[in-house]
Amino acid sequence: MNINLNDKQKQAVEHKKGALLIIAGAGTGKTAVITQRITHIINSGWAKPHEILALTFTDKAAQEMLDRVDESLPLGYGDIWISTFHSFCDRILKQESYNIGLDSNYTMMSGAQSYIFLRKHLFDLSLKKFRPYGNPTKFLNDLLSHFSRLQDEDVSPLEYLEYAKSLSKSGKVEKEEYEDTLELATVYDEYTNLKIQNSKIDFGDLILLTIKLFREKPNVLKRYQEKFKYILVDEFQDTNYTQSVLVNILAGLDPKTDISKVGKVNPNLTVVGDDDQAIYKFRGAAISNILQFKQLYPKAKEVVLTDNYRSRQEILDSAYTLIKHNNPNRLEITEKVEKRLLAKASFESDDDVVNLLTAGSEDAEAEWVAKEVLNLTGYSQENVVDTTQKFNKQGQSAFVELVPDRKYKFSDIAILVRANAHADSITQNLRYLGIPYKIGGSRGLYSREEIKVLIAFLRTLVDYKDEIYMYKVLSLEQWNLSTREYMEINRVAREDHISVLEEVEGMFGVTVGNSMDFELSNLGQKILSKESQEGLKKFLAIFDKCVSMVKEGKSVGEILLHFVQESGYLSEMLKEKDNLSEFKVNNLAKFFNEIKEYEKNNPDSNIYEFVDYLNYSIDIGESPVIDQMDLSEYDAVNILTVHSAKGLEFPIVFLVNLVSDRFPSQNRRDTIPIPNELIKESLSDLDEREEHLAEERRLFYVGATRAKEKLYLTAANFYGNAKRKKKSSIFLEEILDRDITQEFENPMVVKSDDDLNMYTQNKEDLIPKDIKIEVGKKVSYSQINTYQDCPKKYEYSYVLLIPSRPHASLSFGSSIHNTLKDFYTLLQRYKEGLGITEEPSKEDLLNLFEKNWISRGYDSKKHELQRKESGVKSMNEYYDKFFNLEQSPYRLEQSFTVHLPESSFVGKIDRMDLVKSGETPVVEIIDYKTGRLKEEADIKKDLQLPLYCIFAEQSLGVKVSKAKYIFIEEGQAVEVDISAARKEKAKENVFEVIERIKERDFVATPNSFKCKYCDYNSICSDAIL
């Protein structure tokens, strides 16, 4: 991929030796510079791909960087370490954990999981003041936030304890402050140890433990320092102090121990960022990292990118006028550089680029924004009574009519809000005028209507007397129960002083968990229609079965899967062949994946503990993100928070709700602050209020610089039901560089034209019917195999992501694979002298099998015991027949990705043994199989290993001399034909299948044998049973 670089970009890309600070203003091509620099380093021979480390902040950013490098380099360029900070540390710790006494199979805890873990151990900790008797959990959230901030500042438990003890000697603080600090430091130490003892860590631990590893094991640090010849860090202004420490340690400078080296080392460290776009202080980011980079590395070359390829000059000038109010705490002042952005993109002349709109009320503001969207897009409006958004066959809103000379599409427009809640009035008005929109950013999975139903059902299983959630479940159309019928049932239940479920049981003469012989009562015959009678019988039967599954200890996933399949909830979604249904089914799959991940990390958990975890996750707003922006492009207005808009651009941007206490927002202080003496980040001269205002100003700057052609700034006098008039945002006068008092006091739009009465459906169900989610972007051999077995099965499994029941065979296979991976890791470490001094033994292998055993999916405890015994027997035989100390494992569970035209092939090789070392290592590929031994003819036709050979050679830089399957339970190894002809056949097969997938050719190929054992036979209309 050829990119034309300007002189400054070229300087940054071609810089060979020493530290490099790239100050990249908004829209200056930062990502292109980073990826081109990586490509240039490799192509110039300065470093091999695996000797480059590139760190960024989000998985999405890391993937984008990887994709761009993929496009710039030829196939087979090898493994570049491009990842987030957390993924990088996770990878290091998984490999090196034994050096610091950490279990390599540790579990990562989310915020909600950390809360539950801390609550579980609340009375194991030395808490007094922070565990009040009347409300012991009162400070749990605050404690977790406090511990997280300590991690951000590289404060170890020992350091905190030493500081706390020093307070008593200094005599500078009151006794109460000393006791509080000592209590917090003691609990921080105890909590940290508890996590390690229970093989659990959180995201902050990933960074701190990696730093601990590097500090305590200099030989390990040296190995990684020698490995990474070039280090690049994107969005450096967003790093917290601990992340910057990690980067500096890898670069050869530990601020804690290498004070004498400051200013003397000049590593091949590239950091890219913009202090004016530092907007993540709320999650610990330290702007001082970029402001003081040159103090650590005074020899660093400095490149300032100011050519902007995004926006009109008027927008850039206005934004610059705003951000200058953060002087002198900006690089432009401290480094004496010019940061004013210069527009390089071409636009038609326009006298109306930066616009202000003031309104009397929030609704008037929102209505004006919606109507201006219509003006910009050239649509005429037709108000309607039914405010449910509808689309025609082309995916266009049915309530607006296209005008021929249309200039902008809906998708060219972004409406940016400071907080998600501020978007509600906007979305109501857009919907009222029939304007399609999509919501980006952190709208969570748990807020989706299709997921709320599943959560409600789980809650009714835990507490059937919770009438709110029982109503949610009984409102499903699957039961045919009308609102009037429900009201009658509820009325009678209240008169009888029993729950709705008990009333329904009484109507049918059954008791959930006991007798299920239906006999309809007179009352039931009187108030229920025939359809609802059958529907409620179906509900009671499903509810009864699920209660039995709870008693039997079945997993939450199994219970919920029974509900969605037997109720028809899933099959009803699949009837509609449109994008909305596909989107909903994908969300169901995400929810099942969340359950699966939870159960994997909490194997002894039950439905009660899971619902508890779910409730807390929802309470603290921790919900898996679903982003409609990730769907294939369709014409709809983009609604995002300003934070979510970082890195994006749009022709038209509306910044709305620009009043005090909204933007800038109110400053929220930590309930338990960190003592200033422990804060490593260099504190600015600003007071707390000024510092918060500077951060909000940077956020406003980010929002404004998303606009390419037009920027609208809107504000209203009154919001919600408030009777007090708002003050206009201070940023409005700063960006417009004029007094706006009169304009705000005398708003341009006084009141809404209509009383909208917008009582509407879920505001996220606004996806055109004909738009399809992209398919076939990444394919694996398993996907190819599934597609060839049945294209419809592929669609269910990999496009719609419909979960399948846990299978004993999958659990057994994973147990074997994980065991052999860990066992050969021991062999690797023994041979390399990395902490293992004794030869791996059969006892080690059996102990690892016990440790890696997965219990999910077995029919019964007896079935599980039989398979476990079989596994032990297989491991014994494997050791005797296939293991010897002469084996040289080169890579274990090696993942690879190969960029193909319009797709990528991904795979994981169980084991690669070194046959011959050299510049291009010669290896043998081994793949473990736990199923039955295939017929020789089937093995000859098998394409998995020929494919792996092709792509391993292309992406991993090895030569494959031979490949074989080891059938573990059969105790046989079978070599596979990997001749050139076989490889070519495999390659053709992959391209053919990918092409059919891209064309969405998902026609079922049923037969009675396949369908009988297919996970999806209960929902597939083509199944032959």
User: Could you give the count of Cα atoms lying within 13 Å of 154 in the half-sphere of its Cβ?
Assistant: 22
Q: Which residues of 791-830 are buried (b: 16+ CB within 10 A; e: fewer)?
A: bbbbbbbbbbbbbeebebeebbbbbbbbbbbbbbbbbbbb
Give first-to-last CA distance, the chain, whole Å. Answer: 51
Q: Cα separation of 961 and 978, whole Å?
A: 9
Residues facing 544 on adjacent strands: none
Q: Cα separation of 427 and 424, whole Å?
A: 5
Per the CB < 8 A criterion, the answer to whether 61 and 234 are in contact is yes
Residue 217: both structure tokens together = 């094991």
Instruction: Sort residue 45 into left (φ over 0), alpha (ψ -120 to 50) or beta.
Output: left
* Helix ranges, 203-307 (H): 203-216, 218-227, 241-250, 288-291, 293-296
Measured CA to CA in angstroms, residue 234 lies from 84, 204, 253, 310, 338 at distances of: 10, 19, 19, 20, 21
Per the CB < 8 A criterion, the answer to whether 434 and 384 are in contact is yes
The DSSP 8-state label assigned to residue 925 in this structure reads E
Which residues fall within 8 angstroms of residue 748, CB to CB, at 6 or more apart? 357, 358, 359
The alpha carbon of residue 548 and the mean position of all alpha carbons in its chain are separated, in whole angstroms, by 34
- Residue 26 annotated as binding site: yes
The 3-state secondary structure of 334-370, one letter per residue? HCCCCCCCEECCCCCCCCCCEEEEEEEEHHHHHHHHH
Instruction: Residue count of the chain, please give it.
Output: 1025
Instruction: Sort residue 621 into left (φ over 0), alpha (ψ -120 to 50) or beta.
Output: left
- Residue 165 annotated as binding site: no
- Residue 27 annotated as binding site: yes
Instruction: Sort residue 657 into left (φ over 0), alpha (ψ -120 to 50) or beta.
Output: left
Measured CA to CA in angstroms, residue 656 lies from 229, 368, 833 at distances of: 46, 11, 61
* Helix ranges, 674-717 (H): 688-704
Per the CB < 8 A criterion, the answer to whether 651 and 413 are in contact is yes
Task: Quote the crossing angle between the two packed helices 842-852 and 808-832, to the nearest 10°.
Answer: 140
**Of 437, 499, 505, 495, which is closest to residue 463 (Cα–Cα)?**
499
Which residues fall within 8 angstroms of residue 774, CB to CB, at 6 or more apart? 632
Per the CB < 8 A criterion, the answer to whether 279 and 699 are in contact is yes
SS3 content of the chain, % helix, strand, coil (to 5): 50, 15, 35
- Residue 980 annotated as binding site: no
- Residue 319 annotated as binding site: no
Residue 319: both structure tokens together = 């934004």
Measured CA to CA in angstroms, residue 339 lies from 46, 115, 861 at distances of: 31, 44, 68
Q: Cα separation of 245 and 256, whole Å?
A: 9
- Residue 29 annotated as binding site: yes
Measured CA to CA in angstroms, residue 47 lies from 52, 144, 231, 589 at distances of: 7, 42, 11, 42
Per the CB < 8 A criterion, the answer to whether 1025 and 1011 are in contact is yes
**Of 224, 227, 245, 217, which is closest to residue 98 (Cα–Cα)?**
217
Measured CA to CA in angstroms, residue 951 lies from 149, 571, 717, 894, 983 at distances of: 44, 38, 62, 12, 10
Q: How many CB atoms lie within 10 A of CB 176?
A: 9
For the annotated binding site for ATP, the residues are 24-31
For the annotated binding site, the residues are 24-31
